[in-house]
Amino acid sequence: MNKGGKVMKLGLCTGTYSDLPLDEVCRLAVLYGYETLEIETFERDNLHLDIHTIFDGDNIRKFKKKIQDYGLEISTLGNHPESQLVMGPFGQDTDDIYHGTKEEKIKFGTEAVIRAAQAANEMEIPVVVGFTGCENFGRVCQWPDARAWEREEEIFAQRWGKILDKYDEYGVKFAHEPHPNQMVYDIETAQRSVELLGQHKAWGFNFDPANMMMYGIDVEAFIDLLGDRIYGVHAKDAQIVKQNAGRSGLNPHGNYRRIDRGFRFRIPGWGNVNWQDVITELSMVGYFGPLTFEHEDITMSRQDGMKKTAEFLKPLLIDAPFEGRSDLNFRF
């Protein structure tokens, strides 16, 4: 009955399994029923893709073929760490990503983000996922400087505006993932960013509900309000740990693995995200693309996560939009 091609798919962030050869990751993906991959393009310790040699010869064709031979598809490229450097923070906090002065980091980050667009263009991948960065995230608070965030917004518009122009040239979109320590971390800042960037066509979002849970955001409202700018979806969940939340709050500091945190990233289905509601609204705004799983769940092994997520999420993916009824009982 349901003909036509719009279907939601189950995707996988390969970066999670960066200690395994890409072939092994593909085999696991196929085993558990994943259909699309997100590939990281950052330089350091990246066994899956070498951004510097990928453009050589027919490396790109070979890379794509390897994935296709597993019956898989690359949905997106990702580069969260290096895109962070466009806006910071600088200093020691990002030295692991790239060691340099503030200016060197901005330059490195900017080039890396643009290089990802180039790769996406050559690989015919429509979207690069990443972060905007943010020099001092404490500025969302009006104390001690009520104007500080506003000043950061101006810099953001300038730096990212230029990058996005390059994206336009490559015919690729940049999907920022709202998250703490970014200029865009909730619905209002997402709406604000669209405005600041003059409705730039290349600008959009990678919707990851877990990242917004720690600010109490209504993630379904994000979809309804920004649906036409959602270019990607991360299937990650977040658990408000009720027995801890009153003490550590929703924004706890310190190691993800300690037992007494009030907030934990989880695999889909094990946190407070209502995936049926999320998938419903994605369907209502016409998003029929991949939901890409990323394992940041410190309560279970990564392979268990891959298996449990597929078992949980795949039956929920909506096959096709409502085609209407016209019988006497219900005409819509």
Site for its own copies in 136-155 (CB under 8 A): 136-146, 148-151
State the DSSP H helix or E strand holding residue 223, giving kind and residue range, or none if neither: helix 219-226
Q: What is the DSSP letter of 85?
A: T
Other Cβ atoms within 10 Å of 70 Cβ, number: 16
CB of 165 to its own copies, least distance (A): 26
Tokens of 228: 């036409």
CB of 162 to its own copies, least distance (A): 22
What Å distances lie between residue 299 and 56, 146, 263, 266, CA to CA?
Answer: 41, 39, 12, 8
The contacts of residue 112 (CB under 8 Å, 6+ apart) are 41, 42, 43, 51, 79, 82, 83, 85
CB of 111 to its own copies, least distance (A): 17
CA dihedral sign of residues 300, 35, 315, 31: negative
Binding mask 76-115 for its own copies (x = CB under 8 A): ----xx--x----x--xxx-xx------------------
CB of 277 to its own copies, least distance (A): 8
CB of 106 to its own copies, least distance (A): 15
The identity of residue 304, as a single letter, is D
Classify burial at 259, counting beta carbons within 10 Å of its beta carbon; exposed 0-12, middle 13-18, buried 19 or more: exposed
CB of 1 to its own copies, least distance (A): 4
- Toward its own copies, which CB reaches closer, 119 or 219? 219
Residues 119-138 that bind its own copies (CB under 8 A): 134, 136-138
Contact residue for its own copies among 159, 173, 234, 295 (CB under 8 A):
295
Residues 25-64 that bind its own copies (CB under 8 A): 28, 40, 42, 44-46
Q: Which stretch binds its own copies (CB under 8 A): 53-61, 106-114, 160-168, 245-253?
A: 245-253
Residues 184-223 that bind its own copies (CB under 8 A): 185-189, 212, 215-218, 220-221
Q: Tell me which residue has tokens 């189950």.
A: 10
- Toward its own copies, which CB reaches closer, 204 or 252? 252
- Toward its own copies, which CB reaches closer, 178 or 202? 178
Does 246 bind its own copies (CB under 8 A)? Our answer is yes
Distance CA 40, CA 329 (A): 51
CB of 58 to its own copies, least distance (A): 27
Is the Cβ–Cβ distance between 269 and 308 less than 8 Å? yes
